[in-house]
Structure 1
Amino acid sequence: MQFRSLVLPLAGAGFMMAALPASAGAAPVLSCDETLKSSFATDADTSVVLVKAFRKGEPLSLPGSPASKPGKPADNDVCLVKLVVGPGNRGPANATSTSRGIGIEVWLPARANWNGRVHALGGGGWQGGKAAATDAIASPDAAAIAGGEGAVSSVTDTGHTVGGGSFAMLPDGGINERLWIDFASRAIHEQALKTKALATAYYGAAPRRSYWEGGSTGGRQGLKLAQRHPDDFDGIIANFPALNWTRFITSEMYPQIVFQRDLKGKPLSLAQMDLASNAAIRACDVVGGHHLGYLLDPSICTYDPAKDAAVLCRADGGSNNTPDCLSKTQANAINKIWYGMTADGTVPAPVADNGWKDAESATLPGTGNHKWFGLPRGTSLYAKTFYDMGLDGLASPRGPFLIASDLLALELQDPTIAGPNFVNAEGTGQGRWKQLSYAQLAGAYERGLALQSKFGEINTDSPDLSAFKARGGKMLTWHGLNDEAIAPQGTINYYNRVAANMGGVANVQDFYRLYLVPGLGHGTPNGTANPAASPPNFAPTQMYELLTAWVEHGVAPADVTLRSSGGGVTRTRPICVYPQRVQYTGGNPDLATSYICS
């Protein structure tokens, strides 16, 4: 997905172990040269397609890479190995559904620098990419982990190189079940197996600890590993996870359908969305008599723009006479986006239900009229950080979030539903999503659930993590409360379902802890509509250090202090282990000492 470079912070060392020389009795180690292609043989479906040694300071680029994009110098000596794991999916050479197999890119530190760990990385969106390409490096982040941290690192293309969702549809319009399985679970399992096997063969000793780190799709992948392959990793970071895949991604089309059905195809402007979102922030962000600039807890905010004269146009009884004012219909459209997808396009009054009730439930939403959660109040509805890069958020006036329109085409098995980026022999995307009614969108939602067995069980929503707990695994998740793409309510709901399945929150916190972070977006430092907001954020390696301390030293993380320094002002804030929430107790609202977790 387009967000990959933003959702995955570079992980650092934290609690480094001593370098591990190969033991005297170990099997002969592999060399970082062409001999490795034939020396590393785990099964008939696996082939090594590239081996390349980089010396410290050498640019990390491969022959054929664009000269205009020189690679960053290597931090230390590292070895790059690229694998392909078949069988893939046969078909016409020009079809996006044709694949030779799962590409895996592995980075190995020099033997003297290896800290005994595997630190594998997840991806974003539909993933894809250059993991098997011999002329491009797929993950500079993985290279930096190997060179800087000293851990073996890896990434996968999940079985395709497309980047969009068209790989999952066969040329005849049918479902590409083989690649759905690779994308949903097999590729990340093979990534784990091959990375550890290659490390063992290369160093002559097995890794002491193996870790997974990912956000968005990478977060979903971490949860899938814990659910289906609990022995693959000792510790997992699964941030802002894209679990409940078909549920939440189908619902990501809801803002665009609201524009089509309620506003006669005329989207709200950026200024109108910002007007309403910032009004919600001002109404609900006061702490200790000061405006924070973002919401500490959006779950308790019931701001209603349809009742706010300051945003309503004079023609609708308001006092706003600017071009950015809202009609009552437009204000109600924003309420719908905040509440989330319903089967019939209705929305309750925010004071009665602001869209968060189902989050605290131990039951999956969707059986009633409320199908899924909306974006929390105060969030940038068009995802400003990404919009400025040319990418479209959920309520972008330029068009839909592409992952969502692709999924609709796959659920309805009609490529013309998607945008023009979706290419298939049965037809190229023509944007026919615009014609869908609320009922038809709800039908696509139900179709996605019915197709789980053919979609590789992509939803990743099983609350049974008992095998992962039993093997001693540990997992951490954080989710920004102003996530512009994945509503945090879905993660909260999942955690509550895990607790209900596994004997209560205390039993779950023994191995799996969740943090909800005010103001943060989808891996972005400010997910709000307020450009001046400066919510405290994680340091780049903070979560990884917490996880390794928990796994290797038994130090369970408690509340965590975050920092920011926007506008020259240093701010600190505790974030709490869910279900505790941060409570203001008095003093400077910019200091962590003014809050407790309770």
Structure 2
Amino acid sequence: MEPNIPMRPGWAQRLTTGCAVASAAALLAACSGGDGDSTPPSPPPSQPEAALACDDTMKSAFKPDADTQVLLVKPFKQGDPLALAGTTGTPPTAAADLCMVKLLVGPGSPGTAGAASTSAGIGIEVWLPSPAKWNERIRNLGGGGWAGGTQASTTLVGNANAASVAASGYVVGTTDTGHTAPAGSFAMREDGGINATLWKDFAERSLQQLALKTKALARAYYLKPQKYAYWEGCSTGGRQGYKMAQEHPDAYDGYVIEAPAMNWTRFISYELYPQVVMQRDLGGNLSGAQLGLVSAAAVSACGVVGGQALGFITDPRQCRYDPTRDAAVLCNGAQGNGVVGTSSHAACVNLAQAQAINKVWYGQTADGSVPDPLVDNASNATLANSNQLWWGLSRGAFLGLLAGDAASPPFFGPFPIATDMAALTLQDPGYATPTFTNPSGNGQNRWRSMTYADLAGVSAQGDALQPFFGGINTDKPDLSRARAKGAKIIHFHGWGDQLIPAQGSINYYTRMANAAGGFAEAQKFNRLFMVPALGHCGGVGSVSGLSGPAATPNNVPLPGATQFFDLLVDWVENNNAPERVVLRSADASVSMPVCPFPKKPVYAGSGSPTAEGSYSCQ
């Protein structure tokens, strides 16, 4: 039911004015207390506002705007399976009493039923802890990849992880960004053109609506607003956080942003580059074993501190390893650059294959060229020249997700989002893989025919189409409005990221700092931490060195599950800015600090290279 509306200021004045125009008799009867007192009576006391209930009454009671409807309200008791009618398998159980609310925000994108580009609107799923357990904070979570989901489904839970976070006391919301498609086909109209409406929903509008609706729902459910609102996301979720900080800075007080998928069309163009390199230069893919051997050799060459092999590289910007000069990875008799190969390893490489890996490490160029790593190893914060279009994955990072062969699981190629973007940018589904479907045609793997110039054209066209792609690149360096609002941002990225080149984060942070007046000014509200060997959105992303130790969670110090989020809360609520952050391996045998960029951990020259006390931030 509709909540009672308290009397507004001026009500008594308007009542008195209305009585003044009546007859004297009527005035006496209607405006007196009946005993000759001409003083107007006080307005009746307003009724207390009624809180929303976790049941179907919410469907009519919660009406924040004409575009929003409540699809489903479902209470879960502690221990209940987090399942709806369509759930299969064994779902997790609720760790506390929770209320799940599913919303749909229109207008969506009309079209043929069942078509990927047809959408009823933006799905939003909100998990509410019980009133007694709410910590008066919102903690919204970002998505990954194309970020489609089942948030608008009445038979499937959209995000059970959000329920787990809500059990700790936060209101938690997630969104399907306006579509359910696992591939990028939702962003192509049925005639093959650009679906600008769903691009806008995906890139920005869904995020704005998520912030607005979680706040409104929390206010109506608990009868008070949140004290703080936080954003947390990796990859697409990281890009989403920066989009909100850039365009809607009032939405959140703090952001944890990991490996953000910013500069979307540029880095995703690079994600197809390894495949183009191998098709054009080699006529086919390198094997996973070859990629692993050469990457392991890079770790062995550059992952040594104080004379001790760590099994990972602390700062790949300092690594200029070149397999064309390494006889140990070049096949026996292969003519390298100044060496003759001596390797009898089954995964050894020839000179062309070694140079192809150098191209993957350097990043996309317009013509497929690559400079000598001794001269330029792509370590600069800005692109070297107009020929360098984007950075590559770091030396030591696992290369299989972008350059591996389909016959060697878990290697596969190309990365599906990269071919989706080629199809969407060229408005031709044939360039995608067969998973991309559209009434105008389906994916036909025509990416295989692309030249270096073709892919450079995709990158340039992606930039040109930003107004139609909803500003998906999310690369505006001006965060002055977020700073003025008092927001705080912790941004971190792993040097072992297997999907999004870590140098992209350094590039954005540097441009952002320049816009803010320098690194010292930027660090007052936004801090970047580069994490050695951390993979994409968690785990170890580095391969192991040839001679060990193995790159495992017990040998690589990584962030704890909530470590950076806890630091953000302390910064926002207590003004304690994160400085030297100590990371530890799973068994605590290895520890190392990470530092606010541009500082980095520097070995003191003595002490154990696996102990954080042997490093300082410089």
Matched, 1:145 2:168: no
**Aligned to 1:295, which of 295, 310, 313?**
313
> CA-to-partner distance for each residue in 1:299-350, whole Å, 9 max, x for gaps?
0100000010001112312001232111000000000000000000000000
Matched, 1:209 2:228: yes
Deviation at 1:399, TM superposition (A): 2.1
d(CA) in 2 for partners of 1:90, 1:443: 31
Q: Counterpart in 2 of 1:111?
A: 131
d(CA) in 1 for partners of 2:419, 2:454: 14
Cα pair 1:26 1:205 within 8 Å, conserved: no
d(CA) in 2 for partners of 1:209, 1:378: 39
d(CA) in 2 for partners of 1:595, 1:86: 53
Deviation at 1:209, TM superposition (A): 0.4
Q: Counterpart in 1 of 2:71?
A: 49
Show structure 1 runs of 4+ deviating over 2 A: 24-27, 386-392
d(CA) in 2 for partners of 1:366, 1:579: 19
Q: Counterpart in 2 of 1:564?
A: 585
d(CA) in 2 for partners of 1:59, 1:127: 24
Matched, 1:321 2:339: no
Q: Counterpart in 1 of 2:391?
A: 373
Cα pair 2:378 2:384 within 8 Å, conserved: no
d(CA) in 2 for partners of 1:26, 1:244: 49
Matched, 1:418 2:432: yes
Q: Counterpart in 2 of 1:542?
A: 563
Matched, 1:132 2:152: yes
Amino acid at match of 1:63: A
Amino acid at match of 2:372: A
Matched, 1:272 2:287: no
Q: Counterpart in 2 of 1:461?
A: 475
Cα pair 1:60 1:70 within 8 Å, conserved: no
Q: Counterpart in 2 of 1:404?
A: 418
d(CA) in 1 for partners of 2:198, 2:577: 38
d(CA) in 2 for partners of 1:347, 1:367: 12
Q: Counterpart in 1 of 2:487?
A: 473
Equivalent position SS for 2:138: strand
**Counterparts in 2 of 1:517 and 1:112: CA distance versus 1, 3 Å:** same
Aligned length: 559
Amino acid at match of 1:344: D
Equivalent position SS for 2:400: coil
**Aligned to 2:140, which of 101, 120, 132?**
120
**Aligned to 1:485, which of 496, 499, 507?**
499
**Aligned to 2:359, which of 329, 336, 359?**
336
**Counterparts in 2 of 1:521 and 1:132: CA distance versus 1, 3 Å:** same
d(CA) in 2 for partners of 1:104, 1:484: 30
Equivalent position SS for 2:521: helix
Cα pair 2:401 2:415 within 8 Å, conserved: no
d(CA) in 2 for partners of 1:569, 1:43: 51
Cα pair 1:97 1:166 within 8 Å, conserved: yes
Cα-Cα RMSD: 1.7
Amino acid at match of 2:242: L
Deviation at 1:152, TM superposition (A): 0.2
Q: Counterpart in 2 of 1:354?
A: 377
Q: Counterpart in 2 of 1:256?
A: 275
Equivalent position SS for 1:315: coil
Q: Counterpart in 1 of 2:42?
A: none
**Aligned to 1:223, which of 235, 242, 255?**
242
Matched, 1:575 2:600: no
Cα pair 2:406 2:413 within 8 Å, conserved: no
**Aligned to 2:532, which of 505, 509, 518?**
518
**Aligned to 2:454, which of 440, 450, 455?**
440
**Counterparts in 2 of 1:174 and 1:367: CA distance versus 1, 3 Å:** farther
d(CA) in 2 for partners of 1:236, 1:388: 37
Deviation at 1:146, TM superposition (A): 1.1
Deviation at 1:249, TM superposition (A): 0.4
Matched, 1:592 2:609: no
d(CA) in 2 for partners of 1:236, 1:558: 17
d(CA) in 1 for partners of 2:324, 2:288: 18
Matched, 1:38 2:60: yes
Equivalent position SS for 2:99: strand
d(CA) in 1 for partners of 2:385, 2:592: 37
Matched, 1:310 2:328: yes
Equivalent position SS for 1:212: strand
> CA-to-partner distance for each residue in 1:446-468, whole Å, 9 max, x for gaps?
00000000000000000000000
* Structure ranking higher on relative contact order (CA contacts 8 Å, 6+ apart): 1
Cα pair 2:405 2:413 within 8 Å, conserved: no
Equivalent position SS for 2:571: helix
d(CA) in 2 for partners of 1:25, 1:572: 59
Cα pair 1:26 1:204 within 8 Å, conserved: no
Deviation at 1:26, TM superposition (A): 6.1
Deviation at 1:578, TM superposition (A): 0.6
**Counterparts in 2 of 1:583 and 1:177: CA distance versus 1, 3 Å:** same
d(CA) in 2 for partners of 1:306, 1:144: 49
Deviation at 1:25, TM superposition (A): 8.5
> CA-to-partner distance for each residue in 1:23-70, whole Å, 9 max, x for gaps?
x9862100000000110001111000000000111111112222xx23
d(CA) in 1 for partners of 2:482, 2:510: 17
Q: Percent identity?
A: 51
Deviation at 1:388, TM superposition (A): 11
Structure 2, gaps ≥5 residues long: 1-45, 335-339
**Counterparts in 2 of 1:404 and 1:200: CA distance versus 1, 3 Å:** same
d(CA) in 1 for partners of 2:572, 2:173: 20
**Aligned to 1:428, which of 439, 442, 461?**
442
d(CA) in 2 for partners of 1:85, 1:320: 60
For 1:161-180, list aligned pairs within 5 A: 161-180=180-199
Cα pair 1:515 1:575 within 8 Å, conserved: yes
Structure 1, gaps ≥5 residues long: 1-23
TM-score (norm 1): 0.91
Q: Counterpart in 2 of 1:238?
A: 257
Deviation at 1:274, TM superposition (A): 0.8
Matched, 1:187 2:206: yes
> CA-to-partner distance for each residue in 1:541-588, whole Å, 9 max, x for gaps?
1111101111111111111001104xx661111000111010001211
Equivalent position SS for 1:535: coil
Cα pair 2:293 2:329 within 8 Å, conserved: yes
d(CA) in 1 for partners of 2:386, 2:497: 25
Deviation at 1:391, TM superposition (A): 8.1
Deviation at 1:211, TM superposition (A): 0.3
Cα pair 2:295 2:543 within 8 Å, conserved: yes
Equivalent position SS for 1:62: coil
Deviation at 1:145, TM superposition (A): 1.1
Deviation at 1:140, TM superposition (A): 1.2
d(CA) in 1 for partners of 2:409, 2:227: 41
Deviation at 1:255, TM superposition (A): 0.2
Cα pair 1:27 1:201 within 8 Å, conserved: no
Deviation at 1:366, TM superposition (A): 8.6
